Structure 1
Amino acid sequence: MAVKIVETYSVSPSSGAAAKLTLPLLYFDIVWLDTILTETLHFYPLKCSESRFLETVVVNLKHSLSLTLKDFLPLASKIIFPLTSAAMPASRYTASDSLALVIATSDDDFSYVVSNRPKAAGDFHHLVAQMPAAVYSSDEIKFSPFAIQLTLFPNQGICIGFTHHHSICDANTLSDFLHTWASINKSNGGEQLNLLPFYGRDSVQDSTKLTVAHWNQMKTNRPTVSLTPPPPSDKVRATFHLSNAQIEKLKSWVTIKKPSIGRPSTFVVVCAFIWSCLNKCGGDNDDETQYFGSPVNCRQRLNPPLPDNYFGNCLIQFIAVSSHGKLKGNDGFITAAELVATALKIALKSTTVSEFFENRAEIFSEMKGKRVIRVVGSSKLDQCDADYGWGRAVKYECIHTDFYEAVHVCKDIHGGIELGLSMPKPNMDIFAEVFTKCLYINSKL
């Protein structure tokens, strides 16, 4: 995939924006300071020449982006990682700050890139936005939390690539930003349709105690300011789907076999199906302990609850534990469903938030060196429905899952669930066979 950089812009919030905004990073945010950056790609079919792209589409997107940033100032800010003992980390926006926007073109076949078939994972990294260089001083490290790349496939389509530092916000906040930008662009600068972000920090549960504790653990590290791992040379990316009908059959099977669980949610059965399928793909040690987890939104589970438009991170990890032998067997899916449902129920109690973050270091220390399978994304988020005036995106890729064992989950266009995986080609072939076989078995139940 040959990608050519055409132009680089610095986009500032439009006139009328606040001259400055400082947003403290709380414990929900601090724990992400040293993790890898998140990288996502959204593909839109659009028959557009390069000249029209540069003279019209890019001009409109820049203007609507500037209008959107007026209400999402932290995305154009700098994250301040202090190197002195008294200071605390924060997002700090001043009138001189801006967001990096890269314009590029690609000569690849758009229809091939957006297909579900396995494709070389490394090829997608040319479409990923690169963060501006961090600024280092004796007192602090200052770095950008967000960058965007627009790549045209001439007369075929457009890819919008987002790179974001997770410490600034989670996927729920980022989704609000994307939908706001899309609605403003579609309406040619008209009124945006989403609620404005809520920046309040005063009522966040157990904020002072937990924020100080996690900053004391984190400040001896250094933040991730750019994506350092090289693109994988041995992995492919592929997409799988679970239809509504298939999901309902999975739910019914769990209800029959484990009535004590009750009617499981879509998220529970999807996680359980993924976990059991991955364990049926191979492995020799039946006694191997492994973990399965996912960050889940807990805005409404706090005491007091936070509004849905709260800007920042508000996630807790649910973690289920089992052995390879239990998960690979005929009842592996049912076992996984019971474990996931129980772990999720515990994680979403308001009392669990404090307990989890007080013991987070010990919890993750126990997982070190063990197999950890993660689900990222959400079965409630539709990653393709932000319409910039060209209709829905036809493809979504979560690129940072190339660097650890994870499955991206989101809604698909028909209301079912889309699963995005990255793994070596032989493993992907085995997974595809297991996935199809398990769905066939469950469709007969």
Structure 2
Amino acid sequence: CIKIWYGLQLIDTYMPWTNMVTVLEHCRAAPPPGTVAAEQSLPLTFFDLPWLHFPRVQQLLFYEFPHPKTHFIDTLIPNLKHYFPLAGNLIIRPDSIRPEIRYMDGDSVSLIFAESSSSNDHDFNHLTGNHARNAEEFYPLVPQMPQVTNVSDTLVLVPLLALQVTLFPNFGICLGITYHHVAADANTLIRFLKSWASIAKLGGDDQAFLANGSLHPFYGRTVQRKDPNGLETSLWSKAREIQFDEGQLQYPDLTNKVRATFVMRQAHVQRLKKLVSARRPTLLHVSTFTVTCAYVWVCMVRSRGDEVADEDELEHFTWSADCRGARFDPPTPETYFGNCLTGCMVTAKNSQLVGEEGFLTATELIGEAISKRAQNEEGVLKVMETWLLNYKEVKWNRMVSVAGSPRLGFYSTNFGWGMPIKSEIISIDGTGAFSLTECRDSEGDVEIGLSFPKIQMDAFATIFAHDLEII
């Protein structure tokens, strides 16, 4: 069956490519008995509720692993006692004040160990390359989230996390993560992965994790409970009207879609910054993020070619900003568990972006928005209200967003096999976003992940390379 989420066509089926892998073991990972209280809950806040009906986030991390499959399973089962909410469920009662994440003794995470049917290194090297690859090739490696359970007309249970580890014998390993954004933003996810990795690296001993305070999750909700404008109540009153399984689909329409990775070298970034400084000398915020996002946004709009005929058509770019730190009183710890993001959106006419000064226009819009974004608690609340209202006004096929950040450090997630050789945010196949991560081997460079129809990808590649050469 075909369903529609936010104007995107998604296919709610189990795709046929799963014969490319063989399941070795399907187990459930849970906190060890006695390590977590029998029942605990975390209420959702106004930072979580905007993600309630958002498609699940899917990510892959590839590692070189030139060994056979013996013994690799036992060393990888995650110890979830430190991040127990991810083993729980989102509890939705439409007649309640707000949803909550609840962990009960016995809750667990779906964990699949699989083996690729590939007998050579070509497939592994192909998947971990930067060149254009068919998007559907990645989905045998993506874990399926267990189904939402409608316990009754007034109670819905929603799993939050699923994991899959796929071995390419004698070549590599792929770690697949599917998680619900309502439970965690990327900051929380990377801390969970690094805690899992640090424990697995030492054969299950969590002493190194316990000694590293930067990974200990903070579950307090005191600051986020401050809501003088009733934002949380307003968000929940709208979200509860939508049936939860809408938009929670596993796979987007991948017809003719390819994935590719482009690298923005530090030298390119410096040239872009120099251009902005010369042409827009009063612009205060000219960061790597600003110029990279502006450049990619303009290239994406231009790569559509003749698709947009109206030069007054509005184009939108949106991104999320982490609110951990001193924006609240008291400050929100960097290890805060959950979502702690506010959003920004900028808009320009199509003609402004495809024109000669498109990059400068985009940089100015993004840079000014970052400079003016909320720097305190009151401002964050106002920005949240405006951000969500703005989403209602846009055409979704004219909106570009960004997933990830070069600051997160996915390439430093070491399970004992070395650093990942490739990171792929798979969920951009269905959201229209591009991904940003740091480069594994070159400090200061940025990896840009894209998912387009083949014709548009070819056009983007030409524009991306050509315009960097002439700067």
Query: 1:228: how far off?
Result: 4.2
Q: Is the 8 A contact 1:298 1:348 kept in 2?
A: no
1:123 is matched with 137
Q: Say if 1:260 and 1:204 are closer, same or farther in 2 by CA, change over 3 A.
A: same
Alignment partner, residue 45 of structure 1: 64
1:300 alignment partner, SS class? coil
**CA deviation digits over 1:379-432, x for unaligned, max 9?**
212222100000010011111111132110011121210000000011101100
Q: Is 1:198 matched with 2:188?
A: no
Report the CA distance between 1:329 and its aligned residue: 1.8
The structural deviation recorded for 1:249 is 1.5
What is the CA–CA distance in structure 2 between the aligned matches of 1:379 and 1:294, rounded to whole Å? 14
Offset at 1:361?
Answer: 4.4
Question: Aligned match of 2:124 in 102, 110, 121?
Answer: 110
**Which residue of the other structure, out of 373, 391, 411, is the alignment partner of 1:364?**
391
Match of 2:84 among 50, 73, 93: 73
Taking a change above 3 Å as real, the CA distance of residues 89 and 381 of structure 1, as seen in their structure-2 partners, is: same
Q: Please, which moves more after superposition, 389-398 or 206-215?
A: 206-215
Cα distance in 1 for residues equivalent to 2:287 and 2:374: 14
Maintained 8 Å contact 1:131/1:226 = no
Shift of 1:301: 5.3
Sort the Cα spacing of 1:77 and 1:261 in 2 relative to 1 into closer, same or farther, 3 A. same
2:216 paired with 1:216: no
For 1:233 and 1:153, locate their aligned partners in 2 and report how far apart those are by CA, in whole Å: 26
Tell me if the contact between 1:120 and 1:237 (Cα under 8 Å) persists in the aligned partners.
yes
**Amino-acid identity (%):** 35
Q: Provide the residue aligned with 1:242 in structure 2.
A: 264
- Which of residues 429, 437, 451 is equivalent to 1:402? 429
> C-alpha separation between the residues in 2 aligned to 1:32 and 1:317?
12
Structure 1 residue 370: Cα displacement? 5.6
CA change 1:195–1:26 in 2 (3 A) is: same
Identify the range of structure 1 (356-365 vs 194-203) with the bigger mean alpha-carbon deviation.
356-365
User: Which amino acid letter does the alignment assign opposite residue 130 of structure 2?
Assistant: N
Cα distance in 2 for partners of 1:396, 1:228 equals 20
CA deviation vs aligned residue, 1:85-109 (integer Å, no higher than 9, x gap): 2342000001110111011111241
Letter aligned with residue 236 of structure 1: V
Determine whether 1:424 maps to 2:450. no
Other-structure match for 1:145 = 160
**Greater Cα offset, 256-265 or 340-349:** 340-349
- 2:375 aligns with 349
Decide whether the 8 Å contact of 2:53 with 2:248 is kept in 1. Answer: no
Give the distance between the partners of 1:45 and 1:231, measured in 2 at CA.
Answer: 30
Residue 316 (structure 2) aligned to one of 291, 309, 313 = 291
Q: 1:261: Cα distance to partner? A: 0.8
The alignment's TM-score, normalised by the length of structure 1, stands at 0.93
Aligned twin of 1:382: 409
User: 2:334 aligned with 1:315, yes or no?
Assistant: no
Q: CA separation in 1, counterparts of 2:470 and 2:296?
A: 15
The answer on whether the counterparts of 1:42 and 1:161 sit within 8 Å (CA) in structure 2 is: yes
Q: Answer whether contact 2:47 2:339 (CA < 8 A) is retained.
A: yes
Alignment of 1:155 with 2:175, yes or no, is: no
SS of residue matched to 2:382: helix
Note if contact 2:343-2:387 (Cα within 8 Å) is conserved in structure 1: no
Q: CA deviation at 1:230?
A: 4.2
Which AA in structure 2 matches 1:195?
L
User: 1:392 aligns to what SS in structure 2?
Assistant: coil
Measured in 2, the distance between the counterparts of 1:70 and 1:291 equals 41
CA distance in 1, matches of 2:393, 2:108: 41
CA distance in 1: counterparts of 2:68 and 2:253, whole angstroms: 30
- Cα distance, 1:233 vs structure 2: 2.1
The 8 Å contact of residues 298 and 358 in structure 2, kept in 1 or not, is answered as: yes
Distance 1:5 1:207, change over 3 A: farther
Which segment drifts farther, 256-265 or 161-170? 256-265
Query: Which of residues 28, 37, 60 in structure 2 aligns to 1:18?
Result: 37
1:312: Cα distance to partner?
0.5
Q: In 1, distance between residues paired with 2:227 and 2:164?
A: 35
Q: Deviations over 1:237-264 (max 9, x none)?
A: 0000011121111111111111111361
Amino acid at match of 2:243: R
What RMSD in Å do the two structures reach over aligned CA positions?
1.7
The match for 1:100 is 110
Question: Contact 1:99–1:147 at 8 Å: present in 2 too?
Answer: yes
Gaps of 5+ in 1: none
Deviates most, 216-225 or 307-316: 216-225
Matched, 1:303 2:328: yes
AA paired with 2:100?
A: A
Partners of 2:26 and 2:127 lie apart in 1 by: 24
Give the secondary structure class of the aligned counterpart of 2:427: helix
Residue 194 (structure 2) aligned to one of 163, 173, 179: 179
Paired residue total: 433
Moved more, 3-12 or 71-80: 3-12
Which amino acid counterpart does residue 254 of structure 1 have in structure 2? V
Equivalent position amino acid for 1:92 in 2: R
Q: Judge conservation of contact 1:20–1:93 (CA < 8 Å) in 2.
A: yes
Taking structure 1 as reference, are residues 276 and 164 closer, same or farther at Cα in structure 2, changes over 3 Å only? same
Q: How many Å separate the matches in 2 of 1:345 and 1:32?
A: 25
Opposite residue 293 of structure 2, the aligned amino acid is C
Please, which moves more after superposition, 147-156 or 182-191? 182-191
Relative to the length of structure 2, the TM-score reads 0.88
What SS does the aligned partner of 1:161 have? Answer: strand
**Residue 352 to residue 370, structure 1, CA distance change in 2 (3 Å):** farther
- Greater alpha carbon shift after TM alignment, 189-198 vs 172-181: 189-198
- CA offsets 1:122-162 (integer angstroms, 9 cap, x no match): 11111111111222123210011001001111111000000
- Aligned counterpart, 1:256: 278
Is the deviation greater in 301-310 or in 390-399? 301-310
CA distance in 1, matches of 2:231, 2:320: 18
Q: 1:196 to 1:188 in 2, by over 3 A?
A: same
- Deviation string, structure 1 residues 53-87 (Cα, Å, up to 9, x no partner): xxx2110111xx12xx111011101110113x234
Indicate how the Cα distance of structure 1 residues 435 and 302 shifts in structure 2: closer, same or farther if over 3 A, else same.
same
